[in-house]
Amino acid sequence: MSNLFKAAKAKGATASAAPSKTEVVVNDPTFHANLSRLAEVNSQIDELSAESKVLSDEVKQRSIKEFVSLYESTGKYPGSFNIIGTGMSGQPDASLMFIPTDKYIKITEDRYNELAETYGQELVVEKTTYVMDAELIEQYGDLLSDAISKIKGIPDSAKAKLIKAVVSYEIAKGTIQELPKYPATITEMIEEIKPVFQQKNVKVG
């Protein structure tokens, strides 16, 4: 039986170094104009993207404040909602859809322990994923591919290292919908658990 581990490695292999590139000179005014304009447009896109990030962050922070205000005033998780910005007389309104999600920034073990101690074990989750040791797969791949359950050539000391446990920590699902029950303000809890917020349909008029 062919070694499945080696086959998978060969299938996913890529060149480690790119060869030097050949240069082709195109003496064509139209091509030159298009290429030059493309460079200008891409430069403008880079500048606008940087500005968009700054504006998005500012709009997001204000939107989070409105989310907190709505959450506190109703005592209930508001879910997604539309925000409309009004300006001076005669200016069209601007709007967006603000979407809180039940997803959170990853946390460390220390942060996991801190949150569990402060707010209770139900706020956080510890997950363990078991993975095979890559070095041992390289060394004993033929035997593993033949039949893991029938392996006889791997010493017991190596078998104990074959499977590794990877532990990760995260905020429990549904937490964002239960913030009022914790001994902190909505704003403080958002800072504690760091949920992911999204903005869609940003438009004028």
- Compute the distance between CA of residue 164 and CA of residue 162 in angstroms, rounded to an integer: 7
Q: What's the pLDDT score for residue 148?
A: 61
Per-residue pLDDT at 144 exceeds 50: yes
Predicted pLDDT of residue 1: 46
pTM for the structure as a whole: 0.72
The answer to the question of residue 47 being in a domain is yes
Full domain range(s) for residue 50 = 28-204
DSSP state of 170: E
pLDDT tens column, 154-169: 777 776 677 788 899 9
- Is 185 part of any domain? yes
- 152/110: higher pLDDT: 110
Q: Are 130 and 165 in contact (CB under 8 A)?
A: yes
In this predicted structure, which of 22-36, 124-138, 149-163 has the lowest mean pLDDT? 149-163
Dig out the tokens for 80 from the structure: 């997604």
Percent of the chain with pLDDT over 70: 87
Q: Is 122 part of any domain?
A: yes
Lowest-pLDDT range of 5-19, 69-83, 96-110, 138-152: 5-19
Q: How many CB atoms lie within 10 A of CB 98?
A: 23
Please give the pLDDT value at position 105. Answer: 95
Q: What whole-number distance in Å separates Cα of residue 115 and Cα of residue 179?
A: 14
pLDDT for residue 13: 59
Q: What is the count of structural domains for the chain? A: 1
Cβ contact 197:64 at 8 Å: yes
Note whether residue 13 is domain-resident.
Answer: no
Interval 126-140 mean pLDDT = 85
- What does DSSP say about strands 163-171 and 94-104: parallel, antiparallel, or unpaired? unpaired
Q: Report yes or no: 173 and 103 within 8 Å, Cβ to Cβ.
A: no
Does any domain span residue 34? yes
- The backbone torsions φ and ψ at residue 204, rounded to the nearest 5 degrees and listed phi first, read -115, 135
pLDDT at 107 over 70: yes
159 compared with 131, residue with greater pLDDT: 131
